[in-house]
Amino acid sequence: MPKSLNQKGVINPLLIIFIVLICLVGLWFFIGQAKFSSNNTPAKQTNTPKSVAVNKPQVDKTDKDWMYKYCASEVLKLPEAPFKYKSKEGPTRSGAMVWISKMFPEGTRFDHQVGCSIGYKYNEAEAYASVGVEHKFDIKYANEFSKSVDELLTAKIDSSWGKISPLDKKVSGEPGYSYGGFPMVFKRENTELGTVEYIDIFFGGNVLYIKIEFFVK
C-alpha cells in the first residue's frame, strides 16, 4: 500500500517551494546590500605630486641679508657628523677660513662673500668608539679617526658638489704628520644665483665644523 504524503520519509512539496523562496529572497538581499556598500565606499584618492624644482631654492635677492639666509638653508641640508656627538650648534654666521678665502678671486668684496657653520661638539673616546676606532693618545689613531670621518661624510655629500680636497699642506696649514684629507673641501657653482660655493669641514678643539662659504661673482 503506497505511503501518504504526510507519512514519515516523504518531503512535502510545499516545504521545498518555501525553502527555495527563502533562498532566493536571501540572495536578492545579499546582492542589494553589496551594491549599496560599493556605491557608498569613498574612492581611493590618488595624489599626483607637484613638479618641484630640485636644487633651485627660492631666494629673494632684494633682501639685504639674502646671502646669509641662503647659506643657512643650504648648510642645514648637509649631513651631520657621522660619529657620536654631545651637541649641535648653528647655523652661525662666520667668515671664510684662510684656505677657502685663498680660492676667492683677488679683490672679492667683503659684502659679496659669506659663510655659515654648524658645530658638533664631541667626546673623543665616545666619538672614536662610534666609528670603530680605538682611543689612544697616538697620532696613528687620530689619523684613523679622521680618515673614517672623511670617508663617511664623502659618501653622503650630494653629487652636485665636487670634492677638491686633499689640499696641499702649504694651503691648509696642517702639519705634515696629520691626516691629509682635512680640511675637507667641496665646490659647486650656482649659475642661477651667480655664486661659487664651498663646503668646508674641519676639526677644532673637539668640535667638527661643517661650513658653507661662498662668494657672488
- The tens digit of pLDDT for each residue in 91-122 reads 999 999 999 999 999 999 999 999 999 999 99
Same domain for 101 and 187: yes
Same domain, 37 and 70: no
Let me know whether 189 and 90 are in one domain: yes
Strand order in the sheet with 87-94: 87-94, 113-121, 207-216, 195-203, 184-190, 162-163
**In this predicted model, what pLDDT tens digit does every residue of 27-69 receive, in sequence order?**
554 444 443 333 333 323 233 322 233 355 689 999 999 999 9
In the chain, the number of structural domains is 2
Q: Mark whether 89 and 164 lie in a shared domain.
A: yes
Q: What is the Cβ-side half-sphere exposure of residue 194, based on CA atoms within 13 angstroms?
A: 6
Q: Which domain holds residue 23?
A: 10-41
Grid cell digits, residue 138:
697616538
